[in-house]
């Protein structure tokens, strides 16, 4: 397979897989876990919960009106996807990990955007903690975005080898 073909198959394949996994996991959580319930998975480290986050990361803008907040997050999600698509297009096909990172970011952004359009908020369900210290609940879309941003950050720091 040519590098160019690989590059342009990678984007829809990873994006669709991320969106599908994210939406299926959220569908399961909505069907199986009552709101604000806790299901221990690994005691002392990991729970499944059902939290509806009207804000952004760490509850950013959660206290704002739902109309303003919704327009803000939908607009910036679309802008972010547009920028990442532009970066993807500019990236040479030899940078496979960077292209994968961009695809993960787009898939995660679209997964959370679907929630915002459907529910006006994002469904979070992964609760990682140590003792009484809990990381804010998150979902598979958030995880994909985080991994994609880490890959992008590592590329920016190293910029040595195409991978």
Catalytic residues: 124, 142
CB within 8 Å of 70: residues ≥ 6 apart? 116, 120
Starting at the edge strand found earlier in the chain, the sheet holding 38-42 runs 38-42, 46-53, 122-130, 133-134
Place of tokens 């941003």: 149
The tokens describing 14, both together, are: 């990873």
CB within 8 Å of 117: residues ≥ 6 apart? 74
């Amino acid at each position: 397979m040519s590098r160019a073909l690989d590059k342009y198959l990678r984007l829809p394949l990873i994006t669709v897989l991320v969106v599908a996994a994210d939406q299926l996991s959220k569908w399961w959580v909505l069907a199986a876990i009552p709101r604000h319930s806790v299901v221990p998975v690994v005691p002392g480290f990991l729970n499944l919960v059902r939290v509806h986050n009207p804000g952004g990361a760490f509850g950013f803008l959660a206290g704002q009106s739902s109309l303003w907040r919704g327009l803000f997050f939908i607009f910036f999600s679309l802008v972010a996807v547009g920028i990442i698509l532009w970066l993807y297009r500019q990236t040479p096909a030899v940078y496979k990990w960077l292209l994968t990172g961009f695809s993960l970011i787009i898939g995660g952004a679209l997964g959370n955007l679907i929630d915002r359009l459907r529910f006006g908020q994002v469904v979070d369900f992964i609760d990682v903690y140590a003792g009484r210290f809990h990381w804010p609940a998150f979902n598979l879309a958030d995880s994909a975005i985080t991994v994609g941003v880490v890959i992008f950050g590592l590329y920016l720091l190293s910029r040595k080898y195409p991978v």
